[in-house]
């Protein structure tokens, strides 16, 4: 495929890819903007979470705990400084408290981002559904003017109606309640 300068175009860069490329750039810009808007506290939590979720963190702990344990078992002939491992247990407990807090902070922010993306996805889906409904109505009106029999199909009449999201949500919630009630009654 040739571009407008009659040069060979790179795969996936034709005119049909314009919308895709625009969307990719928009998503990348949004991600960069979210990164710029992070508070210093979020950056610290993310850095700690990222490091503690790495194999380097595991290796460092493996070395530290191994040396600590071997030293305090007197295998090296050195005087133990924590023979009952109480201090080691305390350090591990305090570290676990802080690490879990940093992980929760990062997860809360990631959940908020996921909620935003889910809301965006829902809005795009509702818009697409509305546009498709309008297209069905337009094509059906054209088919009726042209006296095409399929224009009077009951399924097309059903598809030509706008979906009301609140009714879909009500139906989903009702179904979920019934499912939970059935599970509760089985217990």
pLDDT in tens, 100-128: 999 999 899 899 989 999 998 988 898 89
Split at pLDDT 50, 70, 90, the class of 71 is: very high
**Nearest Cα to Cα of residue 68 among 100, 95, 32, 46:** 95
pLDDT in tens, 145-166: 998 888 888 888 888 888 888 8
The whole-angstrom separation of Cα 140 and Cα 102 is 56
Residues 89, 94, 99, 101: what is their CA dihedral angle, to the nearest 10 degrees? Answer: 140
pLDDT of residue 6: 55
Does the pLDDT value for residue 1 go beyond 50? no
Which carries the bigger pLDDT value, residue 20 or residue 92? 92
Beta partners for residue 174, in sequence order: none
Tell me the domain boundaries of the chain. 1-37, 38-186
Which residue carries 């295998």 as its tokens?
75
């Amino acid at each position: 495929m040739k571009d407008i300068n009659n040069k060979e175009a790179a795969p996936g860069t034709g005119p049909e890819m314009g919308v895709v490329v625009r969307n990719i750039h928009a998503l990348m810009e949004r991600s960069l903007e979210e990164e710029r808007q992070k508070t210093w506290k979020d950056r610290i939590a993310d850095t700690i979470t990222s490091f503690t979720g790495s194999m380097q963190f595991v290796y460092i702990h493996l070395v530290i705990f191994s040396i600590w344990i071997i030293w305090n078992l007197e295998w090296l002939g050195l005087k133990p400084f924590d023979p009952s491992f109480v201090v080691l247990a305390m350090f591990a407990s305090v570290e676990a408290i802080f690490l879990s807090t940093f992980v929760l902070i990062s997860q809360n922010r990631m959940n908020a981002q996921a909620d935003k993306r889910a809301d965006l996805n829902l809005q795009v889906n509702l818009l697409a559904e509305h546009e498709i409904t309008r297209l069905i109505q337009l094509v059906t009106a054209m088919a009726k003017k042209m006296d095409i029999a399929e224009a009077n199909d009951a399924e097309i009449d059903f598809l030509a109606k706008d979906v009301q999201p609140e009714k879909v949500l009500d139906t989903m919630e009702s179904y979920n309640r019934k499912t939970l009630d059935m599970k509760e009654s089985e217990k």
